[in-house]
Amino acid sequence: MVESTAEKTEKKVNVKDMTVIALVTAVICIIAPFSIPIAISPIPITLALFALFLAGIILGKWKGVVCTVIYLLLGMVGLPVFNGFSGGVQKLVGPTGGYLIGYLFLVFFTGLFVEKFPNKIPMYFVGGIIGIIVCYAFGTAWFMFAYTRSTGPVGLMAVLGWCVFPFIIPDLIKIALAYVLSGKVRKYAR
């Protein structure tokens, strides 16, 4: 008996997958708003990246991206799930919106390396680091564009000093903590 494409697709996304995606999305929405403002940057240190690393590790690349899209959509409609318990479309089109969109790449690369290199923990870190580099690049480019439009030209080194350099060590710690915590969570999710 030949199965239709719709039947094959239905098998790929089942109730268990939807439940795990919903639970991980809820965890992101609960953890992500917590942030600590820092004096040298318009961007606070947030727990969003920690939650998103967990999503990529637990769900893999595509389910993690779906989870992240749902999180971003919830924030866009005004739920207070972004840093500082904020929400709304203005967060995505504002100067830091590029980092929010960059979350998609972060989760994708984290999940990709978890799937491609099962049980090779050092490669998980490589995926997380590649994901954060792409997130930084996308977010920094958008920040420069938005800042230049609203305030005037700004140099790359100044933006890196505001938006990237203060976050490298905290983000590496978040990657490490996410991998440590995810070991048992990933087993239960499967």
3-class DSSP string for the chain: CCCCHHHHHHHHCCHHHHHHHHHHHHHHHHHCCCEECCCCCCCCEECHHHHHHHHHHHHCHHHHHHHHHHHHHHHHCCCCCECCCECCHHHHHCCCHHHHHHHHHHHHHHHHHHHHCCCCHHHHHHHHHHHHHHHHHHHHHHHHHHHHHHCCCCCHHHHHHHHCHHHHHHHHHHHHHHHHHHHHHHHHHC
Instruction: List per-residue pLDDT tens for the chain, 190 residues long.
Output: 455 554 454 456 688 889 989 999 999 999 999 999 988 888 889 999 999 999 999 899 999 999 999 999 999 999 999 999 999 999 988 889 999 999 999 999 999 999 999 888 888 889 999 999 999 999 999 999 998 888 888 889 999 999 999 999 999 999 999 888 877 666 665 5
Predicted pLDDT of residue 154: 87
Predicted pLDDT of residue 86: 94
pTM of the full structure: 0.87
